[in-house]
A and B are shown apart, each in its own frame.
Chain A
Amino acid sequence: MHVCKLVAPILLGLLLTTAAAAQTGPDAGTGAAPESASARTAGTKKSRKKSAAKSSKKTASKKRKRKKARVAAPVAPAPVEAVKVPEDHEPPILTHTPVITAKKGIPFTIAVNAADQSGVVGPTLYLRKKGAPASDYVSMRMSAAGPPGEYALEVPAALVSVDALEYYIEAWDEHGNGPARVGSPDNPLAVSVEQEKKVVIAPPPVAPAAVVIAEPKGATPASAPTTVLQATREQPLESATSAIVAAPAPKKPIEPPSGETLIGLGIDAGFPGGGGLSLLVRPLWWLRLNGGLAYNYVGLGYRGGISLAPCFCVVTPTLNLDAGHYVNGDWNKVSNVTDPNAHALLSRVSYTFATAQLGLEFGSQRWFNFYLRGGLAYFETGFSGSDLTSLAQGKIASDPSTTYKVGDGKLKSLAPCVSLGANTLGY
C-alpha cells in the first residue's frame, strides 16, 4: 500500500502527459495518417505506457481522453506548431502550413519550420504524382529561408504538369533523432494542380495545434538522411523526377476552332493534271472533301478527292488524295502527227487518273489559303482496238496478204505531279 501511495502520483502525472500528447497527435492537426501518427507517438510513450499498463483503470481513462482529443481536433488541414521538447533525444519539431492547390505549370513554394535544439539535418521534401507508387517519390532538400528554422523549396514548373501532387516532409536532427514528418509516405499531403492562376494556400489557423511528430529513437538514424543525400547527389533533379516528369507535359489538344467554315471553293493548276475548279466541303474540321470540273487544255473532266489538314496553322501540312476522269480529249492539239489514222486515234483520248500528294497550305484554314503540292499521279488510258487496227493496217502492213486485228490497247503511267492552288471558305 505504501508503495502504491508513492507510485500513484507518478502514474497520475504520466497519464496526464500521455493524454496531452494524444490530443496533439498528427491526425488532429495536420491531416496525416492516424495510424502512422499513432505509431510515432506510440514510440515516444512506450515507457510511459508500460507504467500505465500497471493500472487498467487508468489506461481506460487515458484512452477515453485520447478519443476525446481526436474528436475535438479540427477537420480542415491546419498548420502545426512546434512544441518544445525538453531533451535532445527528441526528433525535430515540424510546423507546416499545407499547400492545397497550385497552378499547372507555375512553380510554387512549400515551406516548413523545423526546430530542434541540437540542429536540424535539412528537411527533405518527398514529392510524387498523385496516386503514383511510393517508389516514385522524388526527394528534394529544402533550403534555409529567412529566419532560423525556416526552410522552403520552390517546386519547379516542370513538376507541376500533372493534375495532382502528393508530398510529405521529413527531418532529422543532428543526433539522428527522427524522422519527424509532416505527412507520410503512405498518407501524404495532397496538392491539387489546377489551371487557374490562383494558388490557394490554407488560411492561417486561428489556433494552431501543436504537434510533436517523432519516430522511435535509435531506429537507424543515419540511414534515411543518407538515402536522401544519395538521391540528391547521384541523380540530378531532372532524372530523379522522371517519374513525375514522365507524365508528358500536357500537349495542347487539337481542338476544332470555333466558327469554322464549312463550304468553299478551290481553284488549282498543275502538271500533268491540268487545272480545275472545285467545291469544298468540310464535314470535319480536319477533313476537306472536294469535287468539281477539271480541264487540261485538250479536254474536260471531272474529279473529286479528300484533303487531310491536321491543324489550323498558318502553314498547314496536308495529305491530298484525288481521282478523276477526262473524257474524249483531242490530243492533236498538242501533237503534230500527220498520219490520218494516228490523228483519229488521238482525237478521242480519255483517261482516268489518281493522285496522292503532300502539300503545304499557307494562310487561314478558316477563310483563305494557297498551297503547293507534290506527289505521284497514276494515269491510265485506253485506245480503241479499231483505231489501233486502222493505224497498224495503214502504217505497217504493206503486204496485201497480211491483215492486222488489234485489240484495245492501254497506256499506264506513274509520274510525278505538282500543283498550285488556292482555297477560300466562306460559309
Chain B
Amino acid sequence: MRTPYSILLASVAACYAQVEDGSVAVTHSLCTPSTSACIPGGRIPITTFNYGGNNTFTMNLGDVPFLQSSSSAGPVTLQTNLGLNKASFDILTSGADFKGITQVQLLRAPRASTGAGDEVCPPSANCPVVALYKQSTDGVADQQIVLKSQVPNLIDLVDQTNHNIVFEVTVQGTAPQPTLWDASFTMDLALSARAGLP
C-alpha cells in the first residue's frame, strides 16, 4: 500500500508552474528625449560624466508579485530569478565613439543622484558592482560598450517598497570627441519565476 501513496506524493511534489522570459530589454536614455545630447565630451577626462548627475538612473520593475527572490503561500514556494544577460552602452551621437573609455562600472546605488556633485556611491558606500567593462580585458569599444554581469540575481537588488533598482555608472578614460554627446543604456534581463513545493 505504500507504493501508491509514494507515487501519489511524488507526483504532487513534482507539480510546479513556471514563468520564464529569456529576454526583457530595458533601455534608458542617459539624456532626456527632449535633449539630443547632454553629456560633456571633447576628449576630456570623463569625471564630468561621473559627477554631472547624469550617472544615475532608475529602473522600475513594477508591482509584480513574483519580483521577490522567494515568497511562500502555504506549502507553495515562489522563487524568482532575474538574471542580467548583459548591459550595454550604445552611442547615440553621430561621430562619437567609446574608444577612449577604459573602464565602466555599473553599480547598484542606494538612491538617485540629485545633481552635479551628488555622488551617491562614494567608496565608503560599498555599492555592489552589477556589471563591468574593462578595456584591458574586453577590448577597445567603439559604438557600444558591453558590460558583463557580476551578479547572478538582480532580484535581491530591487527595492521592495517602490520596486526600483537605482544604478550608478562610473566611467574611467576620456570622453567621446563631440562636445556634447548622448548614449543609451540597456540591460537585457532574463526572468524566471517558479512556484512549487519546496
A interface residues, Cβ below 8 angstroms from B:
375-376, 388, 392, 395-416
> Could you list some 7 contacts between A and B, CB below 8 A?
A376-B15, A401-B32, A405-B25, A405-B27, A407-B21, A412-B16, A412-B20
- CB of B74, distance to nearest CB on chain A (Å): 16
Q: Does B44 contact A (CB under 8 A)?
A: no
Pick the residue among A399, A400, A406 that contacts B25 (CB under 8 A).
Answer: A406
Bound complex: CA of A201 vs CA of B25, how far in Å?
Answer: 93
- Would A409 and B19 be within 8 Å (CB), given that A403-B27, A416-B11 are in contact? yes
B60 touches A396 (CB 8 A): yes
A412 touches B23 (CB 8 A): no
A392 touches B60 (CB 8 A): no
Pick the residue among B12, B21, B28 that contacts A406 (CB under 8 A).
Answer: B21
Bound complex: CA of A415 vs CA of B11, how far in Å?
Answer: 9
Residues of A within 8 A of B29 (CB): 401-402
Bound complex: CA of A392 vs CA of B61, how far in Å?
Answer: 9
Q: Describe B's contact surface by its main secondary structure.
A: strand
B61 touches A404 (CB 8 A): no
B19 touches A401 (CB 8 A): no
A406 touches B33 (CB 8 A): no
Residues of B within 8 A of A403 (CB): 26-27
Pick the residue among A399, A405, A411, A412 that contacts B58 (CB under 8 A).
Answer: A399
For chain B, residues 1 to 48, give those with C-beta under 8 angstroms from any C-beta of chain A. Answer: 11-12, 14-29, 32-33
B26 touches A413 (CB 8 A): no
- Would A410 and B15 be within 8 Å (CB), given that A401-B28, A401-B33 are in contact? no
B21 touches A413 (CB 8 A): no
Bound complex: CA of A413 vs CA of B194, how far in Å?
Answer: 9
Bound complex: CA of A413 vs CA of B19, how far in Å?
Answer: 9
Bound complex: CA of A412 vs CA of B61, how far in Å?
Answer: 22
Q: Does B62 contact A (CB under 8 A)?
A: yes
Bound complex: CA of A399 vs CA of B33, how far in Å?
Answer: 11
- CB of B105, distance to nearest CB on chain A (Å): 21
- CB of A247, distance to nearest CB on chain B (Å): 29
Can you name the residue of chain B whose Cβ is closest to the Cβ of A409? Answer: B21
Can you name the residue of chain B whose Cβ is closest to the Cβ of A383? Answer: B21
- CB of B150, distance to nearest CB on chain A (Å): 22
A413 touches B12 (CB 8 A): no
